[in-house]
Structure 1
């Protein structure tokens, strides 16, 4: 059997509580994984390097190094999906976990069915080197402008309320497609859903899978507000018809991802240029009109 097939079947469990280790092994093995269980962060990092698993679950409070540091070390050497499991549920802890490289942040106690659903949702996301993942191949040399220029703010028009724009039509003399890219455009921010490229003021922007998916959803939706529950379902592939699995921890995770995304965009929530918060509802793009 190939190394790739072996990898698809492997999950590493890093957890110091033997009862939770056993429960996690049952959940993952029922989902078709073979599991490797360790009880501390240092052994967890070693296990990930050795087995190169598809999924890694990380406790936060462990002997040796904690889960945040373990996630940082793992992320330097592996693109395994990291699910952080912890009793810490403050927004600052969620931000720290996601910033360390976690793909999911699950608060204990957790429901086994919910955890399996989250795992299945993660497996639907593209990984590095897979179709739909950010490309690392050298770009071909282009003739003409290397990327479309956003319409000047003084000339931009706000789309009608409730409208959904997939690709902004190019203004006269400017290009909305180049070298096979169909860009979504908002101010000087450009995003290509197919190649998963993002450019800000002409420079490539490095985003995580989740940050890219959130930004793409908001740019496609334009001024239509997307709730935190809605965005949670989008990240899971919109395969759920009920909000049963969307809890407070999910909404805090969306807030944390949005905090990291805004930081990378250089966006100030108090005076946003790209993404604004609709208090008590969710998020949407800012208007392209400049206030006089």
Structure 2
């Protein structure tokens, strides 16, 4: 008889006891073994000790800034990280930061929506840049103007230099390349990369496209690879086309 699958683990880092209890209860209902921390220092200690599969992280913690905790947690773990914040303007502040979070959710939140978003996250591969392996014979390799994307090995090189992409950045790039002739709307990218449960959360697409562009050495005004189709979404610049915005 095969052994049962290991139980997924989650860490809730939140100083508000009521919200911490709600997040933990919701995760336990979804089959997670949960750990809790009321501040950033204790949260990072639990990341080191338990290597959780999922981390929910309050932006406003009493000791460390949540952004700094996220950066340190990302260096320690390839867990999915969900940043939790009370104000929309804080989400806007996070938009321009490359902090390694997989999702942002505002307070108050619906436990049902939170559950759906977590479930969708775990339908994506957990392989992160720390686990990248060299391309192996027989892997599908996508090529585009100096970019080589080894799909199975999840390795990306640009002009011969390997890039350290997050899971979502890799999935976005692979999606854009596999449909290089089409315009991808923000809604279609949300569905393809994040799965069901994200609705019209265009901020998620925009922040990760921005961070992906940064790692590709381009910006929206002079793109080499990803062109913004205003009012619609994104597409790969056709080979041989002039790099215009």
- Taking structure 1 as the reference length, the TM-score comes to 0.75
Q: Is the 8 A contact 2:190 2:198 kept in 1?
A: no
Q: Which runs of 5+ in 1 are unaligned?
A: 141-178
Give the CA deviation at 1:60.
0.4
Q: Which position in structure 2 is the counterpart of 1:127?
A: 126
Q: Which position in structure 2 is the counterpart of 1:269?
A: 220
Give the CA deviation at 1:213.
0.3
Q: Secondary structure at the match of 2:239?
A: coil
Q: Which runs of 5+ in 2 are unaligned?
A: none
Change (3 A) 1:283 1:34: same
Q: Which position in structure 1 is the counterpart of 2:211?
A: 260
Q: Secondary structure at the match of 1:29?
A: helix
Q: Is the 8 A contact 2:117 2:198 kept in 1?
A: no
Q: Which position in structure 1 is the counterpart of 2:186?
A: 228
Q: Which position in structure 2 is the counterpart of 1:21?
A: 20
**2:196 is aligned with 1:196:** no
Alignment partners' CA distance in 1, 2:156 and 2:162 = 6
Alignment partners' CA distance in 1, 2:134 and 2:192 = 30
Q: Is the 8 A contact 2:80 2:101 kept in 1?
A: yes
Q: Is the 8 A contact 1:56 1:81 kept in 2?
A: yes
**CA offset digits 1:28-60 (Å, max 9, x no partner):** 011011222221111111122222211111000
CA RMSD of aligned residues (A): 2.3
Q: Secondary structure at the match of 1:116?
A: helix
- Taking structure 2 as the reference length, the TM-score comes to 0.88
Q: Which position in structure 2 is the counterpart of 1:49?
A: 48
Alignment partners' CA distance in 2, 1:137 and 1:37 = 33
Change (3 A) 1:39 1:134: closer
**2:77 is aligned with 1:78:** yes
Alignment partners' CA distance in 2, 1:105 and 1:47 = 21
Q: Secondary structure at the match of 2:82?
A: strand
Mapping of residues 1-292 of structure 1, within 5 Å: 5=6, 8-89=7-88, 90-96=91-97, 99-128=98-127, 136-137=132-133, 179-237=137-195, 240=196, 245-247=198-200, 250-291=201-242
Q: Secondary structure at the match of 2:96?
A: helix
Q: Secondary structure at the match of 1:84?
A: strand
Runs of at least 4 residues of structure 1 off by over 2 A?
A: 87-92, 133-140, 289-292
Give the CA deviation at 1:201.
1.1
**CA offset digits 1:236-275 (Å, max 9, x no partner):** 34xx4xxx6413xx21111000110000001121121100
